[in-house]
A = this chain, B = another copy of it.
């Protein structure tokens, strides 16, 4: 199938070096630095909002067939990769739900980070619940 090419819209900035394995257990704060060309699209984000951040697991090792079944570090059992949040997956795409603390120009201050400093951001979406 045809390759699909994306370009990051920004990146994660954080001074924390210990990053929790998942946003559900993270209190880490940091910033999403969005390219100024997209700043106008941030207009309706405000403190208290929850946003879905789609990002690139840029430090993940390449996926091979050995990673189809993995044992998540916090679980005692093996799982099929699509039932895990492992960064080692056919397309290394990550998803986190973060809380907006502040928006200043093209920078969004957030809480709940589980991404490393420098992580490329692909998209931001509203967190829609059923």
Q: Which residues of A contact B (CB under 8 A)?
A: 1-9, 11, 22, 24, 35, 37-38, 40-45, 51-52, 54, 56, 65, 68-69, 79-85, 89-91, 93, 95, 97, 120, 122-126, 128, 130
Whether B124 and A9, one on each chain, are in contact in the complex, defined by CB atoms closer than 8 angstroms, is: no
Q: Chain B residues near A79 (CB, 8 Å)?
A: 43-44
What are 16 A-B contacts defined by CB distance under 8 Å? A2-B7, A2-B8, A9-B90, A24-B130, A41-B80, A41-B90, A42-B80, A44-B83, A54-B54, A54-B95, A82-B123, A82-B124, A84-B126, A89-B123, A91-B122, A93-B122
Whether B54 and A37, one on each chain, are in contact in the complex, defined by CB atoms closer than 8 angstroms, is: no
